[in-house]
Amino acid sequence: DLDVSVIDELPPGRKPVHTVHKYEDQTTSLYNGIRQQVRQGRQVYIVFPLIKESEKMDLQNLEEGYCRLCEVFSDMRLSKVHGQMKSAEKEAEMQRFVKGETQILVATTVIEVGVNVPNASVMVILNAERFGLSQLHQLRGRVGRGADQSYCILVTKRALTSDTRKRIDIMCDTNDGFRIAEADLKLRGPGDLEGTQQSGMAFDLKIADIARDGQLVQLARDEAQRIIDDDPECNKTENQLLWSRLAALRKTNINWGAIS
């Protein structure tokens, strides 16, 4: 039983992040854009999906990528952070970037929370097809924290599934976290509200669609609250059928208290 506060405006002085989609074979224009931003005094994040090469997944990895990027941007200062580094080393590298001592931070998703560098204006996410909507949105939130225009570049393979293309399109179309969360719910499903399944269609309403009919669900909630306040034992004639239905549902042993 939670109320929702909607914040639909950016903090004063900030601009919406401009998100674009590029393919892996378009690195020339990508690198040129990075150089342009760095020459203007900005800083850049480049995020890899893996730390080291994997035999099971054909994905770019940070260790090889960092060496390659050091050659590409040999006239610039780079640093790297990932989850296998010691905490002190990772913090030292982060502080170098925060203080502006390095211009490009090569990282994994360890930077998706708790990082605030207003001068960072570019977020490049490699193999973006491997990330979910919520994680892409969270990573994008690392830029756009200053007054300058910021950019998020989603780099993918050319061969994409239909759902993956939808995720990329949604990220390019909006910065609205509510719209992204709604789209994520529609793509992945709500999961099982009575169990442990966190996605899919285990929770199947018979009439309403939990992703589509948010206003209807809210209306039902308000009406239920009105009945509880006015007639908690459902003694009134118009509420007795509802009481009988609730009694039947209770026999299914749904433990709503355990998940709320």
CATH code of 46's domain: 3.40.50.300
Q: Which amino acid is located at 94 in the chain?
A: M
| Residue 193, in any domain of the structure | yes
At residue 143, φ and ψ (nearest 5 deg) are -115, 175
Last residue of a domain, one of 176, 199, 219: 176
For residues 227 and 154, state if they share a domain: no
Q: Give residue 44's pLDDT.
A: 98
| Residue 243, in any domain of the structure | no
For residues 54 and 137, state if they share a domain: yes
For residues 68 and 132, state if they share a domain: yes
Within its chain, how far is the Cα of 220 from the centroid?
29
What is the rounded CA–CA span in Å between residue 125 and residue 132? 12
Contact 193, 260 (CB under 8 A): no
Determine the Cα angle at 61 with ends 173 and 29, to 5°. 50
| Residue 103, in any domain of the structure | yes
For residues 37 and 151, state if they share a domain: yes
| Residue 137, in any domain of the structure | yes
| Residue 28, in any domain of the structure | yes
| Contacts (Cβ under 8 Å, ≥6 apart) of 218 | none
User: How do residues 50-76 score in pLDDT, each as one tens digit?
Assistant: 999 988 888 999 999 999 999 999 999
Q: Give residue 78's pLDDT.
A: 98
Q: Give residue 201's pLDDT.
A: 47
DSSP 3-state assignment of 30? helix
Please report, for residues 21, 90, 151, the alpha-carbon distance to residue 111 in angstroms, rounded to integers and kept in the order given: 21, 11, 16
For residues 57 and 36, state if they share a domain: yes
**Structural domain tally of the chain?**
2
For residues 167 and 201, state if they share a domain: no
Q: Which helix (H) or strand (E) holds 45?
A: strand 43-47
| Residue 66, in any domain of the structure | yes
| Residue 3, in any domain of the structure | no
For residues 95 and 199, state if they share a domain: no
Low-confidence ranges of the chain (pLDDT < 70): 1-13, 189-216, 252-260
Last residue of a domain, one of 176, 206, 221: 176
Torsion over CA: 156, 160, 163, 169 (sign): positive
| Residue 2, in any domain of the structure | no
For residues 149 and 232, state if they share a domain: no
What single DSSP character describes residue 17?
A: P
239: left (phi over 0), alpha (psi -120 to 50) or beta: alpha
257: left (phi over 0), alpha (psi -120 to 50) or beta: alpha
For residues 169 and 226, state if they share a domain: no
| Orientation angle between helical segments 133-140 and 177-188, nearest 10 degrees | 160
At residue 136, φ and ψ (nearest 5 deg) are -60, -45
Q: Give residue 9's pLDDT.
A: 64
For residues 213 and 146, state if they share a domain: no
Last residue of a domain, one of 154, 176, 198: 176
Q: Give residue 56's pLDDT.
A: 84
Sheet harboring 43-47: ordered strands across?
A: 18-23, 151-156, 120-125, 43-47, 104-107, 78-81
Average of per-residue pLDDT values in the chain: 85
The parent domain of residue 193 ranges over: 189-236
Q: Give residue 193's pLDDT.
A: 47
Torsion over CA: 58, 74, 38, 78 (sign): positive
For residues 27 and 94, state if they share a domain: yes
For residues 99 and 198, state if they share a domain: no
DSSP 3-state assignment of 121? strand
Best CA proximity match to 42, nearest among 175, 115, 150: 150
Q: Which helix (H) or strand (E) holds 166?
A: helix 162-173
